[in-house]
Structure 1
Amino acid sequence: MVIDEAHRLKEPTAAWTRHGFDIAAQVQNRYLLTGTPVLNREAELHTLLRLSGHPIGQLPLNEFCERFAGSPEFRKTLRDEISDWMLRRRKDVLPNLKGKQRQTVPVVLSKIERDEYNQIMRSDQHRFARLGGLRQLLERVKVRIVADLMAELDVDHKVILFCQYQESVATLREHCLKLGVGCVTLVGTDSPKKRQKAIDAFQQDPDCRVFIGTRSAAGTGYNLTAANYVFFLGLPWTPGLQDQAEDRAYRNGQLRMVVVKIPLAEDTIDQQLWQMLMDKRALASDLIDPEAEEKSKMALANELQI
């Protein structure tokens, strides 16, 4: 049994996960493939271990969490337990890849934008509705920031713009058309034929410099190595989703350094969301990166200048 994108089976009660358990029970050799085995929390690894047949996966979920979740020490224990069970390949084994840089870009809200932000914060909407309203507002603000950043790039660079909302995709497309910059778009409602046409144009046409898409629709499954710049107008909820989106450009066939730019609005929920992503990234690293402890020590030493 071979399961690709196995992280999609992280929820043990989902119908397709239960179906996977049924098949796995009848198969001796099982292989699970994923670039993001942990998206949010340690419990997600339990399902993959159970599907693959590891003894730890046979533990009840609550016992698994008590033993292996909640602290770096517990996660290190789990990492040691499964190190011989997991074969990990990093992209640095691909000799042609030049590397990937992430850069955050500070964004200052105008007075009008700040007033609108505060108005949403003080509204009596349900908190999830407020959160959605704030994210949508910040994405609108970042449209002008990203437009300015793109204008600074040389004409031989191609750019991927990832948005959360289709409204932002449409606005950015209009902006590119006004400037005479060739662009294509990809959103969830596009047909497979339209999607492939957009990808082919971006990859093959030197005059098509900008690819604009919603991250949910364009962030996985596509090869966009013509781009060497990636911009996020909205933050995903997990580092795995961010990595997958970035790696539309940073993959085999990319011959240039990939630069990822992430605008963050100051004194807004962007700071909390970004910190949440960093915390989740550290958690995943604790579980699957055998060099995580040494990297943490080096980072602390560098910060303290010792």
Structure 2
Amino acid sequence: MGEDEFLADRFEAYRGHLKAVAYRMLGSLSEADDAVQEAWLRLSRSGADEVENLGGWLTTVVGRVCLDMLRSRTARREAPLEARMPDPVVDPATGTDPEHEALVADSVGLALLVVLQSLNPAERLAFVLHDMFAVPYEEIAPIVGRTPAAARQLASRARRRVQGAAPVPDPDLGRQREVVDAFQAAARDGDFEALVAVLDPDVVLRADRGAVTAGLEELRGAEVVAGKAVAFRGHSLDARPALVNGAAGMVRLVDGRPLSVMCFTIVDGRIVAIDILADPDRLDRLDLTVLDA
């Protein structure tokens, strides 16, 4: 085996982990792939002869690449990071694809990714690297151009915002599916009271319809969300159960084409968040063939 092939094999062992880091940072599957590819290019140029901890080195490289990408978005004055739904990871209801397991580990649902997008780039990097991947502050500090103490403060600020806005979902997928099925049945029957019963009083619904809206459409409160669900009663839709970022969800289709991907966050048997991607352009780019099996 040649040196280049040996280096490529070592890199491949970390690819899944690196994409998971990039996905949490960027909320985009395609951009996460770009960040991982850039890390490979940097490794192939520099080699690994003097790298004692290749996994740690690659993690910090991907973190730096993602930070540059986030800052570039800001410099180009693109839409605010929180103005779009993160890319969902869709799997059949029967289980998560092994290639997706690292992406959705530790309950990285869409609700959490939406909150992460509201952090500034430096806060997001400090939180993701330290709290999700146990990177020491001493290694985070030079990436963000701060002292270790300042990097700790960045992560602490981010942690407070995440803990207050991103609930930890119930771990029982079977129970999650029961609640989602109850929601779907009540919506289909136009049963307002049954809908309110499965919704948390402070439930939040976020929907990204792409060009139709200027960002995430957001509704709050059980009665408001139930009323929205009842309004769709009678629409002829094919709703297929799915796992969306590892949680119970569904893909809604009309005439065989995806209309939306819905992800539910369920806590204590009630729905606390519904995140919907309904942007036709982005839906067309998703691989939903897994649901045909």
Q: Please indicate the TM-score interval, normalised by the length of the shorter structure.
A: under 0.3
Query: Which structure is higher in RCO with an 8 Å CA cutoff and minimum separation 6?
Result: 1
Normalized per residue, the structure richer in strand is: 2
Q: Rg: which structure is higher?
A: 1
TM-score, normalised on structure 1? 0.24
